[in-house]
Amino acid sequence: MTNQRRASPHMGTLALVLHAHLPFVRHPEHRYHLEENWLFEAVTATYLPLLEVFRNLVKDGVFFRVTMSMSPPLVSMLRDDHLKLRTAAYLDRLLDLAEKEQRRTAGDPTFHRLARFYGDRFGRLKALYDEIRGDLVDGFRRLQDDGFLEVVTVGATHGYLPTIREPAARRAQVQVAAQHYRQHFGRWPRGIWLPECGYTEGIEDVLAEAGIRYFFVDAHGLLLGRPRPPLGTAAPVYTRAGVAAFGRDMESSKQVWSAQEGYPGDAAYRDFYRDIGFDLPMEQIRPYIHPDGIRIHTGLKYFRVTGRVDLAHKEPYDPDLARERAATHAGNFMFNREQQVRWLAKHMDRRPIIVSPYDAELYGHWWFEGPQFLDVLCRKLHFDQDVVKLQTPSEHLEEYPTQALCEISPSSWGEGGFSSVWIDGANDWIYRHQHRAEARMVDLARRFQADCPELTRRALNQAARELLLLQSSDWAFILKTGTATGYAISRVKAHLARFRRLDREIANQRIDEGWLADLERRDNVFPDIDFRVYAS
């Protein structure tokens, strides 16, 4: 049942935007694959805890409106039967590890209490996962249908649009995403999270063609626009294509993101890096790490941030103290938004909107107490004040259909703010190969769009999948940051090699059906894709 907030004279609104995305990582050919843990960790640390918070707010009669992007790769993985089975097995391993930890720490009151805390937590999350039959997407869809969430889409494979040269290939990233969203959420998307907030001239035309009403940019994308928006980032602007752009509010973002001033750095919060996967002797932890003995994070972390000290000098984590601190920070965040709205409202002819976007994985994965912070914040906004209310971007546009007209400045978020993360000496070699593949895909689509044999059609659709997976911005980001570089390079080379072989076999009409079927089984994203999306 839709929860309606009582009418009240709010002076302004807050748009909380959580961007949920992971690269498409699925390796059924391996019994265990290290990078699949990215999904399992995100499910247990972020997506299940967020769903739990939202469902409890609904149950308690708390009004909230949150905007959440869910990228097509993430949605596909969350609904993939193979990965759902592995996610359930991962949760079972965590429960088993927590039970063993309770036995191991029985003589130590401090750490035994923490082991019990994790046992209770994992048991609760596994029960929720079982209750929804592993379908997190349906859980969030129901919250949207009931009027609490607004789920927006993302580029098909999080391809960084400014680096996609072929107009048809850029269009495909948006059109495929919109179609995929409709299949899983039963409606067309109203908004989109541009991958990495990457904007360049002409993107709004592609969005308008797909029926998308708004997108997000970083603050400088708006503030450096022409003409300069009269209301800064406190109101959206319209592009000439009629699609609205919402700019990130720097003040509210800084309170959460800043490494020096942000809440997650508080000494009471759980430390991310100290994990029993690295602390325990190998004979005790071996069943819960990589089969080859590679130590990894398990999710059982017994220490708090403490301060700028070495990991060996961290102090034990206190969940009760951390919960109190999250409540304090939620109150501080609300107070600051109240003051911000009061000041803005004095200088505007309409209610200001504060747009606060964050990576969803910040809440729970990196900042363990993040979901608790959101829970308390939503409750306090509902019960404790009448200055700020939660609102989605589409609601704001309905309330204020007239906005300033502006040409957005090319921009991105991330270090530098102008694409330097995704076009860098560490990763720029990707794009010459990507651009040739884009041009070739367009040529093939136009050649075969009128009619082609069934096997050729399957090969063309798989070529489109391989190109989309090649375009994922995640590979360039990983190469820039130097984290899992070997894996990122292997993915770029694998998708490029598969695309080139498909191209040759299609051109020569000598398609290896067995090899194609294996590709369709492994790289199975967008099962209903139509290669003709590249033909226009």
Alpha carbon distance 495, 441 (integer Å): 13
Beta bridge partners of 12: 388
433-469 residue pLDDT tens: 999 999 999 999 999 999 899 999 999 999 999 999 9
How many CB atoms neighbour CB 371 within 10 A? 21
For 287, residues 6+ apart whose C-beta sits below 8 A from its C-beta are: 93
Residues facing 66 on adjacent strands: 149
Residue 7 scores a pLDDT above 60: no
What was the pLDDT predicted at 1? 39
Cβ–Cβ < 8 Å for 444, 531: yes
Q: What is the maximal distance between C-alpha atoms in the chain? A: 74
Q: How far is CA 331 from the centre of its chain?
A: 26
C-alpha to C-alpha distance for 222 and 495, rounded to whole angstroms: 35
Summarised one tens digit per residue, pLDDT across range 195-234 is 999 999 999 999 999 999 999 999 999 999 999 999 999 9
Residue 261: pLDDT over 60: yes
pLDDT per residue over 14-57, tens digit each? 999 999 999 999 999 999 999 999 999 999 999 999 999 999 99
Selecting among 359, 395, 512, 530, the annotated active-site residue is 359
Q: Confirm if 94 and 122 have CB atoms less than 8 A apart.
A: yes
Q: What is the mean pLDDT of residues 116-133?
A: 98
Predicted TM-score (pTM) above 0.85: yes
Give percent of the chain above pLDDT 90: 96
Helix 109-131 and helix 48-59, axial crossing angle in degrees, nearest 10: 80
Query: For 227, which DSSP code?
Result: S
What confidence score (pLDDT) does residue 259 get? 65
Judge whether 359 counts as a catalytic residue. Answer: yes
128: Cβ–Cβ under 8 A, 6 or more apart, which residues?
A: 48, 51, 52
From 161, 185, 190, select the one nearest 173 (Cα to Cα): 161
- Name residue 214's beta-bridge partners: 191, 244
Is pLDDT above 70 for 406? yes
For residues 62-80, average pLDDT = 98
Q: Could you give all domains of the chain from N- to C-terminal order, each with its CATH number?
A: 429-534 (1.20.1430.10)
Cα 31 to Cα 20: distance, rounded to the nearest angstrom: 27
Strand, helix or coil for residue 474: helix
Question: Is 196 one of the catalytic residues?
Answer: yes
Residue 260: Cβ-neighbour burial (10 angstroms; 0-12, 13-18, 19+): exposed
CA 257 to chain centre: 16
Categorise residue 318: left if φ over 0, alpha if ψ from -120 to 50, beta otherwise: beta
- Among 36, 150, 196, 204, the active-site one is 196
Do 316 and 114 touch, CB atoms closer than 8 A?
yes
